[in-house]
Structure 1
Amino acid sequence: MAKNFVQPGHVVTVPAPAAVSSGDLVTVGVLTGVAQFDAGSGDPVEIALEGVHEVAKTSAQAWTVGAAVYATAAGLATTAATTGNVLIGVALEVAANPSATGVVRLNGAAPAAAEA
């Protein structure tokens, strides 16, 4: 293994941008993951960057399998590729309109914030 290897990176520690609960989407810059435990604003929190997670979504959206999923500034998952939203992965299950949650396969890290 390379001498400069730090960690696998499936789960990383970041400062919580606000108070978060376990299972919340947490975005720091263009890095978004799922909080592994509750944390206060500024406290270290581990976020999963990969895997399949059920997350809170924009209720008034219907999702199809394979749709691109983004994180909003409010911490909700959405299929809207608007400025400021961060690409986080793809929908793995159909989600009805309305519905509170959706199932997402996280992509590890966003290449960049979405363009309008």
Structure 2
Amino acid sequence: MSRNFVQEGTIIDYTPPATILGGAVAVIGSLVGVATTNIGAGTAGAVAVEGVFTLPADNTLTIAQGAQLYWDPVARKMTTVSVNNIPAGKAWATKLLAGTTVNVKLNA
């Protein structure tokens, strides 16, 4: 292994300004991740930035498998709308129109 290898890069340590519940989306710069456990405000915790997670989604959209997804920080849901939203990953499976969640491969 290379001497300059640091880590696999699937988890990042993050100190949020406000509490983040385990399983909730955490935005770190341009990275979208999921808190692995509850993280208190001002306390370092682990955020997954790779993997597939079931996350809240816009229930007014049908989302095709493989579609580019964006995190809407205002609605706190995944969407296919890029304007004013943060690139989050790809839809791992199709989401039907009334569905309220989508499986997301983070940062893909």
TM-score bucket (shorter structure): 0.7 to 0.9
* 1:85-116 deviation line (CA, Å, top 9, x unaligned): 211211011112222210011126xxxxxxxx
TM-score relative to the length of structure 2: 0.85
The residue aligned with 2:91 is 91
Q: What is residue 61 of structure 2 aligned with on the other side?
A: 61
User: Match of 1:16?
Assistant: 16
| CA contact 1:13–1:47 (8 Å) conserved in 2 | yes
Q: Percent identity?
A: 30
Runs of at least 5 residues in structure 2 that lack an aligned partner in the other structure: none
- For 1:49-79, what per-residue CA distance to the aligned partner results, in whole angstroms no more than 9, with x for missing partners? 1111111122222211111011122432111
Alignment match, 1:30: 30
- Tell me which residue corresponds to 2:46: 46
Q: Which amino acid aligns with 1:5?
A: F
How many pairs were matched up?
107
> Is residue 17–residue 28 contact of structure 1 (8 Å, CA) maintained in 2?
no
Secondary structure in structure 1 of the residue aligned to 2:51: strand
Contact 2:32 2:107 in 1 (8 A): no
TM-score between both structures, scaled by the size of structure 1 = 0.80
Equivalent position of 1:79 in the other structure: 80
Report deviation, 1:42: 2.6
SS in 2 for 1:50: coil
Gaps of 5+ in 1: 109-116
Distance in 2, Cα, partners of 1:48 & 1:80? 23
Aligned to 2:3: 3
